Amino acid sequence: MPMAETIVEKIFSKKCSKEIRAGDMMMVPVDGAMIHDITGPLAIEKFREMDGDRVFDPEKIIMIFDHQIPADSISAAKLQAYMREFAKEQGIHNYDMREGVCHQVTIEKGHATPGDIIVGSDSHTCMYGATGAFSTGIGSTDMGFVLRFGALYFRVPESIRVDVTGKFPDRVGAKDFILKAEGRIRADGATYKALEFTGETISAMDMPGRMTCCNMAIEMGAKAGIVPPDATTWEYLKGRTEKKPFDLKSDNDAEYSEWLNFDVTDLEPQVAVPHNVDNVVNVTEVEGTPIDQVFIGSCTNGRFEDFADAAEVLGDKKFSDNVRVIVIPASRDEYLKCLRAGIIEQFVQAGALFEAPCCGPCMGAAFGLLAPGEVSLSTSNRNFRGRQGSTEAKVYLSSPATAAASAIKGEITDPRGV
């Protein structure tokens, strides 16, 4: 009789055509691979060092430029030109700088679907777990191997079940929940494990919210974050994949390394305080902290629904003259949704810079950098020292609603009172 399996074990068992358990190590073929403008050049070099002539399957590889676009230096321009030539040579689909942030685009374009095993040369590749895929970030050397052979050694991770119940209070949502989880699980509490998000709250959550949760799994050390696919998943994937809906979920008696329960009924807006993502407090504990810049966007919170939350808080008010507000959608599709809804005009009239889809200030590589002593409130995923500019600057993390309220007041502000 087959043993009970988690969703992650089921994905690997099907891929390997045999029963796979957490802890097993094996070479596994991948369904897709993603490289971007920062990590891609080194992956290509490693592919060449492995005597790579042709990639394993150009149909399963995508290339996206998002971190330093448009090219902000001659060196960046050279590396992007190098990657464009490789894409042409190999027949790889190159989205170039046209579409937006790699993780959002990968999901939008149907490159991550239930049951897939996807790798990307970026740590936040775990976001694709929102579609029911097992997705994880890998280094450039490993990616060079994948480009060459189409497979990679995996140790199948144990799973932590994160069961979420309750209805979110007003102006509290997925970002507040995942920050709360970060504070409880801590930065290393899920190291090399899969976080499986379940429960009535997750079932009621839209795809953007699920993406936010899975995106930040890596901040707890997790190998992957995953939401079992359901009607919401398959509805989102209509027109993005030819796959037909099928059941994929953990068995009722599957074995977890840990089972955590969260109730969001009374959850307050959360803020991650410098300089660690798991240094999380209620917004009221840091309310009144002066800020110099607010960044609303990134692969964590750069979707239309995030901007709609911020726009609801903003209303017809203006942003503080003391705050630089940078708003960046995660993709061209999300940009157009904002355009059609009038949100871009609303933000611009309030005093914000609404930029083209890209990573922007998130990695501190292109624009929107902080000077020594400055303070940023960001809807992105990391607040490490030097993450958005000077090592002497400070970065706080919050939801879009909290970011908008704070940009209006010029200081960290509880969105429930605006």
Domain boundaries, the chain: 10-16+24-155, 157-242+257-267, 270-417
As a whole number of angstroms, the distance between CA 149 and CA 143 comes to 10
Among candidate residues 114, 67, 63, the one with its CA nearest the CA of residue 85 = 63
pLDDT band at 388 (very low <50, low <70, confident <90, very high): confident
**Whole-number pLDDT of residue 390:** 84
Give the number of other Cβ atoms within 10 Å of residue 401's Cβ: 29
- Tens of pLDDT, residues 89-101: 999 999 999 999 9
As a whole number of angstroms, the distance between CA 375 and CA 231 comes to 41
**Whole-number pLDDT of residue 358:** 84
Q: Is the pLDDT of residue 127 over 60?
A: yes
As a whole number of angstroms, the distance between CA 44 and CA 38 comes to 11
Q: Is the pLDDT of residue 156 over 60?
A: yes
Among candidate residues 81, 316, 281, the one with its CA nearest the CA of residue 176 = 281
**Whole-number pLDDT of residue 362:** 79
How, if at all, do strands 61-64 and 32-36 pair? Answer: parallel
Q: Is the pLDDT of residue 158 over 60?
A: yes
Assign 3-state DSSP to the chain and report helix, strand, coil percentages, each to 5.
Answer: 40, 20, 40
**Whole-number pLDDT of residue 92:** 96
Beta carbons of 418 and 313 less than 8 angstroms apart: yes
Mean pLDDT of 198-217: 97
Kindly state the tokens that stand for 196.
């499986």
- Mention every residue, 6+ apart, whose C-beta is less than 8 A from residue 190: 160, 217, 220, 221, 222
SS3 sequence, 77-139?
HHHHHHHHHHHHHHCCEEEECCCECHHHHHHHCCCCCCCCEEEECCHHHHHHHHHCCEEEECC
Q: Is the pLDDT of residue 69 over 90?
A: no
**Same topology for domains 10-16+24-155 and 270-417, yes or no?**
yes
Rounded percentage of the chain residues whose pLDDT exceeds 90: 89
- Tens of pLDDT, residues 327-360: 999 999 999 999 999 999 999 999 999 999 987 8
Rounded percentage of the chain residues whose pLDDT exceeds 70: 100
As a whole number of angstroms, the distance between CA 380 and CA 327 comes to 11
CATH T-level assignment (fold) for domain 157-242+257-267: Aconitase; domain 3 (3.30.499)
Residue 404's H or E segment, with its range, is helix 400-409
Class of domain 270-417: alpha beta
As a whole number of angstroms, the distance between CA 100 and CA 83 comes to 17
Least confident of 45-49, 104-108, 388-392: 388-392
More confident residue, 285 or 70: 285
Q: Is the pLDDT of residue 365 over 80?
A: no
Q: Is the pLDDT of residue 1 over 70?
A: no
pLDDT band at 221 (very low <50, low <70, confident <90, very high): very high
As a whole number of angstroms, the distance between CA 292 and CA 277 comes to 20
Look over the chain and give the mean of its residue pLDDT values, rounded to a whole number: 94
Q: Is the pLDDT of residue 2 over 80?
A: no
**Whole-number pLDDT of residue 161:** 97
Q: Is the pLDDT of residue 386 over 80?
A: no
pLDDT band at 164 (very low <50, low <70, confident <90, very high): very high
**Whole-number pLDDT of residue 359:** 77
pTM value is 0.93
Beta carbons of 112 and 226 less than 8 angstroms apart: no
Q: Which CATH architecture group holds 10-16+24-155?
A: 2-Layer Sandwich (3.30)
